[in-house]
Structure 1
Amino acid sequence: MQINVRVLLPVFLIATFVVSAQQTANDSVIFAKLDEVVVTGQIEPQSIKKSVFNVKVITAADIKRQAGNNLADVLNQYLNINIQPQSGEGRSTVSMFGLDSQYLKVLVDNVPLVSDTGLGNNIDLTQINLDDVQQIEIIEGAMGVTHGANALSGIINIITKKSTKNKWEITATVQEETIGEEYSPLYDEGRHIQALRVAHSINDNWFVAVGANRNDFEGYKGEFGGKEFTNNPNNPEQERGYSWLPKEQYFTNALVRYQKGSTRLFYKFDYFNENIDFYNSVTHEELQDDNITKLIYADDRRYFTEKFYNHLNAVGKVFGLDYNASVSYQKQQRDAEDFKYYIQTDTELNNTEETYQETEVLYATGTVSNFFKKEGLDLQVGYELVNTSGYSSALSGIFNDENQDDNDHEKRLENYDVFTAAEISVTDKFSVRPGVRYSFQSKFDDQWAASMGFRYLLGKGLETRLSYGRSYRTPNYDELYTYFVDSNHNLQGNPDLVPESGHSVETSIKKQTFLDSGLQLSNTLSASFISIDDRIEQAVVATTPSLRYRYINISRYKMWNIATTHRMVYNNWQAKLGASIMGISRAINTGLATSDDKYLINYQFNANIGYNIPKWNTLLSLYYKHNGEQQQYVQDGSLTNPKFVLSEIESFGLMDASVRKSFFKNQFDVTLGARNLLDVVNIQSSVASGGTHTTGSTNMLMGYGRSYFLKLTYNLNF
């Protein structure tokens, strides 16, 4: 295993800063705490130390240090998580433990977010704004009992702000950022962000907040020629278009909260609007009416996406019991506008707009707890109701149903779940948390989930945890209803698919140390295992008269992971160091070929450092993550001798840095920084035969190069 200087450099930096920190004697404010309050997966909010689950917390201070604008910006630097950019679609999704975004659930205030294919999964992280986020909580492993279907690899819960320390808090932000080497405030290059948030505590009971954010991403040309490109005699291989599609996003949100005694009510509304421009690389010539002039045109497309998010939540007591209930209505609609774009004259013709995809969800969940008026014993009983309506038009190109005249497809999926969990403090040091869920399904056989968690405090700051979870993933819209048949393709969904079932085991030991000198240390070692049965894959179901593929339950997946993290806080210093090694085994039988099921190894390393200079009111931050070489078996595509061969994706590192200085008693912040300092754009994916000889390679777009940003924030608090 070869590790280059780019991997080792952050290690030496961490070591140097730790030694320096121990020699610092300034009376400075510690700006990070090792113990936070968490709500995800808990019967009631409690300190992370008391949680039976191993919860990772990303605080608002962490987000500010990274100068993150969306969830993809932040998660890029965390272990066991990979961001998967889909530049041709303008999206970024997330995978955990090698499982894609269909197995990971993303929530806001415990309510899963609507997506193209359902609820909570396959979320585009660039559509999640972080202006009003209090903290982000991550739990790894199957969480089916508390969060239902499709939470096999874990959950990410975004907790939003619902209070202020001041009567008024007004925040205005302007940010300018390069996209690689491309930037111009006037000529459609770079990234331009403006944001405003106003929060007001009317009195002890009422709180309101509103916010708006515009994110104008002008796209990344890279090796392409952009919108106005026609041809280049000096480089005939260059094509029109963008490596990363341009898009403009608008985020708006409003929150009203009422609180009196133990009763709290809030209503949250979010509206999101996105415009993505697709510029076709294929151009055509058209002879004009004068029979002399030729104009070059392309068949271009715009995607318009709208999202509506409504969430009403009530927390309080009734008949001595604690209740927490939420109702949410969400809708996502994507329209597509096709048109002929004449490049020389900058004109459009034959514009037609049609609904491309639509998802509508009515969601309700609630819990009742505190049945026993006894310290150390609590029982929670809950319900979840989901009604999802999905629609895709023939324009999307993959849902053309041979049994429908209009070639549109609309289906409804429902589930009604009940669950219960208990927390039992056997002793002051030993806690147990069992749980079970039963789901009544409209489309599939009824499903169930179960979990068991243990926490033991060994004393002297040592904590141990062990948890088991059994969960399930229901097939998505594509897998159920795809029908894509022409002269070259025959790929069909399968309405008879059954849900996948998964099991996870996670154990960890954590040591926290607090010294009189002010030094705080937190060291964690964890191990986990995930297995999934009946995994859905494409398989050949017929070979004559041509190959026909269909989604069926054929695959098995197993993963083991060992990870360690170490965190230090001392006076003005904060540092974190982590590493993980993971083995993944997949057993696939497509009907023509069978993959090897041996474990393939991957490793990751991350580090971050922060130093606060009180005299200058300045914070320095550096983040680094190394993604080791990844391997997986892929089908070679041969029809005469089909087989699975080993594909290798080369290792790469991501480094971000920023300097934030505050002026005028923290009323004005200036942040100067850089993303992707190692200038990663394409990484190589090669297919090897026999594990040694490369038989082919391709480039995968992973980033858009080194980018610089300047962020100005005005804070008015009174």
Structure 2
Amino acid sequence: MEQIDMKNKITTCILMLCYTCTVWAQTQKATIEIVDTTEGLPLIGAHVCLISASGEKHYYSSDAEGKVIIPLKEKMQCTVSYTGFKTKEFFLEEEQSIKIKMKPDLLMLDQVVKTASVEPESVDQSIYRIGIISHDVLEKQGVQNVRDALRFQPNINLVEDGVLGTQIIMQGLEGQHVKFLIDGMPIIGRQDGNIDLSQIDMSQVDHIEIIEGPMSVVYGSNALAGTINIITKENKYYKWSGTASTYAESVGQLNANMSVQGNKGKSKYGISGGYRYFNGYDLDKSDRRMDWNPKNQINADAYYGINLSGWDTKFGIRVSREDLLFKGNYLQPYRAIDTEFITDRITYSGQFNKKFNEKSTLSGMVSYNTYTRTSQEYTVKEDLNTKEKRDAYNVDEFTTLNARISYGHQFTDRLKWQVGYELTDETGKGGKVDENSGLIENSIWTDVKLNITDQLVFQPGMRLIHHNIYDTPLIYSAHLKWNNEDGWGSRLSFGKGFRAPSIKELYMDFVDSNHKIFGNKDLLPETSYNLTFTVNKTVNIMDHSVLKFDATGFFNHLDNIIETVASDTGEFYYQNISQKRTQGGTFSVNYNHNNRFKMNAGVNLTGISYDLYNTSDFQYRYSIDFVGMLSYFWPKVDLSMQLDYKYTDKRVQLMAGADENNPIEGVTEAYNMLNYSATKNLKNKRFSLTAGVKNILDVKQVANTTQSGAHGSGSNMLIAWGRTYFVSFKFNLNKI
């Protein structure tokens, strides 16, 4: 009996020992310490991605000491990344303790971009010249909307309108030739062909990717001058994270935003919301009408994603409402007529990505957008506080269904292929739309990326389009990229573009106190050609400094371009004019010393010419712009300072008029813009405080004769609301 008990005890001890060993084996941990190679300071919030032998990914983030403790059961591939530093890749084993010294990525060549590719790739690998406005820059500048983000970008100019908002000009072409995307999905709601950039909130934006030049093969219409892709934040590295921020500007602007994001198992989720208030600003205090109309805006969005059997899916909704009040002048003592404009945007989206193996990837996305603009007139009573609704009420509603699927396959190390299908279905209805209308476009596109040598890459592509109204030509493009080990590089792009008239250009009549623009059912589609080239040289100065020179050039030729034309009654309507050409270039110098001191300077030349009456007589009107930036980062106290400057030259524009022998010439005078900001991070980046001065030179408006046409009757053009002071406070909370 005792012998049996002894055997039981021995068996029990052995089982307990085995269990203990198993638990110990399962809880073996590896430690990674991540520091800056220059001063050995810990990098807080560095991203660590582990990939198992089966391809499963696990995400981690470094703590206040720059450390990551990871439970490991097997040897895994490890990738460490941090904004502004070169990515490190290595294999991590059980019980390993390793110190990673991150080197500054002075040219941001390791920055991952998503535009125009089935799979994310680095800036250096992309066939396109992609400019990036990083999250770090957006934070330092106190950016609140896309208008603020693009204001100091080279080769981009902004035009302000009291009702239509902020509009863009790129390569001398207006906003209808620029594609705007959020996470690869198109933004709708163009007024007079332009997206109002001030309506796009930046609180949940990670970075912005900008491609100048032809992208019509990949993105179709509106992608001739370039493509701007706004990439939103997504939490992969924390169990949950939260942010809360406030912003105040002395002009009377107050913003507040909150967000929460999390990860649990194979699921990810997030929700955010924000409110923006602007009290309006007026240069002439003698009347009620304001140059910058008061408005408030509410934004909210949510997403949920899950990875099932390698299918990475994400579903989301984004909602915004802007309420703008246009105050009318006194019609008689103590009486006026005001107009309220309410703009509602709702976007439902879904996307997926499936990597079958190391060489094949399938991705797709679908979005359904609704854009509603409501206008209501009110009679303001004698007390100036009581309002009464008038009969003047209008609702215009536009919807867009966009579905896109693409497949990419790498045949060899030198040959990659992409093919895709895209559907765009637009509808419009309302009081200002001439009739219920719809435009449907089906497209198939493909491109081939061929690494001819280690230094030379060639990518041709084409797009076949079927439009429900118009015949469409074959769209094609060719891209060439070359670089060598001596720091020289160049890119050359040529593409043919096509743009069908929009619903608003065909059917909508836009009339208010500032605008009289009428649609035209007889419009023809635009066709175009674009040539863009870039040459750059990188010079490494010792170990921690780099100097980069960039020279770019572009040429655009457009046939049947759609413009607003003045009639003999003073009204404006859309019409095809013969031809338009733009040409120019940019030369820039960028210096970066160890991500501490940065300096950018660039000069941009843009020439615009119209052949309004098919005479083949192109006379270019040129303008020269200058941009500059200085920034300094003091790592020991985590303080950064930045100064931004831009000179916008005088611009001359021709417009067709009722008299074919006497075109209308508009001139906008030159102006300067200068901003300063400083950002201080506190408590291991838990809190951040940004303060600064915008428009230090106090520019408000410039002399202008262009707006005496379709967009108003004033002799001055609004630029900004003068010198203002701002402060922003942000709270970050992350749980690893």
Q: Could you tell me how far apart the structure 1 residues matched to 2:112 and 2:270 are? A: 23
Matching residue within 650, 659, 682 for 1:629:
650
1:111 equivalenced with 2:185 (yes/no): yes
Deviation for aligned residue 1:429: 1.2
- Match status 1:176 vs 2:238: no
Q: CA deviation at 1:570?
A: 1.2
Equivalent residue number for residue 611 of structure 2: 587
Contact 2:235/2:241, CA 8 A, preserved across alignment = no
What residue is the counterpart of 1:597 in the other structure?
A: 618
Partner of 1:216: 277
Q: Which has the higher contact order (CA 8 A, sep 6+)?
A: 1
Q: 1:262, 1:432 → 2: CA distance?
A: 31
Matched residues in 1 for 2:243 and 2:570: separation? 58
- The equivalent position to 2:141 in structure 1, one of 51, 61, 66, is 66
**Aligned counterparts, 1:69-218, within 5 A:** 69-87=144-162, 89=163, 91-116=165-190, 122-179=194-251, 190-203=252-265, 205-218=266-279
Q: Secondary structure at the match of 2:449?
A: strand
Q: Say which of 527, 544, 552 aligns to 2:575.
A: 552
1:27, 1:83 → 2: CA distance?
A: 43
The CA deviation string for residues 398-444 of structure 1, in whole angstroms up to 9 with x for no partner, is: x5x5xxxxxxx321111111111110111111111000001100121
Secondary structure of the residue that 2:292 maps to in structure 1?
coil
SS in 1 for 2:587: strand
Conserved in 1, the CA contact under 8 Å of 2:173 and 2:582? no
| Counterparts of residues 381-530 of structure 1 (less than 5 Å) | 381-394=419-432, 399=433, 401=434, 409-482=435-508, 493-530=519-556
Separation of aligned partners in 1, 2:703 and 2:145? 27
Given the alignment, which residue of 562, 586, 593 partners 1:563? Answer: 586
Q: Where does residue 51 of structure 1 map in the other structure?
A: 126
User: Displacement, 1:484?
Assistant: 8.5
> Alpha carbons of 1:351 and 1:632: their partners in 2 closer, same or farther (altered >3 Å)?
closer
Q: SS where residue 162 of structure 1 aligns?
A: coil
Alignment counterpart, residue 380 of structure 2, candidates 341, 356, 367: 341
Post-superposition CA distance 1:492-515 (Å, at most 9, x none): 643232211111111111223444
Match of residue 576 from structure 1:
600
Task: Provide the C-alpha distance between the structure 2 equivalents of 1:605 and 1:333, rounded to a whole number of angstroms.
Answer: 38
Aligned residues: 626
2:683 aligned to 664, 687, 692, which one? 664
Structure 2 CA distance, aligned partners of 1:109 and 1:127? Answer: 17
Given that 1:116 and 1:359 are in contact with CA atoms closer than 8 Å, whether structure 2 keeps it comes out as no
User: How many Å separate the matches in 1 of 2:664 and 2:520?
Assistant: 27
Unaligned runs of 5+ in 2: 1-37, 44-81, 85-104, 707-712
Measure the CA separation in 1 of the matches of 2:191 and 2:468.
17
Question: Deviation of residue 111 (structure 1)?
Answer: 0.9
- Say whether residues 1:259 and 2:312 are aligned partners: no
Scaled by the length of structure 1, the TM-score of the pair is 0.82
SS in 1 for 2:235: coil
Q: What does the per-residue CA deviation read over 1:247-272, in whole Å, with 9 as the maximum and x for residues that have no partner?
A: 00011111222236753211121110
- In structure 2, the residue matched to 1:692 is none
CA RMSD across the alignment:
2.8
* Match in the other structure for 2:369: 330
Question: Counterpart in 2 of 1:280?
Answer: 328
C-alpha spacing 1:152/1:638, structure 2 compared with 1 (3 Å): closer
**Structure-1 separation of matches of 2:448 and 2:161:** 41
Whether contact under 8 Å (2:146, 2:198) holds in the other structure is yes
CA deviations on 1:561-597 (whole Å, 9 max, x unpaired) are 121222222132122111111211111139xxx8963
Q: Provide the rounded CA distance (Å) in 1 between the counterparts of 2:677 and 2:633.
A: 12
Native 8 Å contact 1:539 1:589 kept in 2: no
- Displacement of 1:44: 2.5
1:245 equivalent in structure 2: 293
Q: Give me the whole-angstrom Cα distance separating, in 1, the residues matched to 2:351 and 2:457.
A: 29
* Aligned residue type for 2:482: Y
What's the TM-score, normalizing by structure 2?
0.80
**Deviation, structure 1 residue 353:** 7.9
CA contact (8 A) 2:363 2:407 kept: yes
Q: For residues 733 and 279 of structure 2, what CA distance do their matches in structure 1 show?
A: 31
Q: Distance in 2 between matches of 1:201 and 1:425?
A: 38
Change in 2 beyond 3 A, CA 1:117/1:363: farther
Q: Distance in 1 between matches of 2:204 and 2:330?
A: 42
Q: Tell whether the 8 Å contact from 1:116 to 1:332 is kept in structure 2 after alignment.
A: no
**Structure 1 residue 660 displacement after superposition:** 1.1
Judged with a 3 Å threshold, the aligned counterparts in structure 2 of structure 1 residues 565 and 415 are, in CA distance, closer, same or farther, namely: same
Q: Kindly tell me: are residues 112 and 686 of structure 1, through their superposed partners in 2, closer, same or farther at Cα, counting changes over 3 Å?
A: closer
- 1:628/1:490 CA distance change after superposition, 3 Å: closer
Mapped contact 1:382–1:420 kept (Cα < 8 A): yes
Letter in 1 for 2:413: E
Identity %: 27
1:704 matched to which residue of 2? 721
Match for 1:153: what amino acid? A
Are 2:666 and 1:647 equivalent residues in the alignment?
A: yes
- CA shift, 1:703, in A, is 1.0
Contact in 1 for aligned 2:673/2:695 (Cα 8 Å): yes
Deviations 1:589-623 (A, max 9, x none): 39xxx896311111111111111122332111111
Distance 1:27 1:570 in 2: 17
Shift of 1:347: 1.0
Deviations 1:613-671 (A, max 9, x none): 22332111111111112122346x786x9613643322111111111112222211111
Distance (whole Å) between structure 2 residues aligned to residue 343 and residue 717 of structure 1: 54
Separation in structure 2 between the aligned mates of residue 465 and residue 484 of structure 1, nearest angstrom:
42
Q: Quick one: which amino acid aligns to residue 300 of structure 2?
A: T
Q: 1:646 to 1:301 in 2, by over 3 A?
A: closer
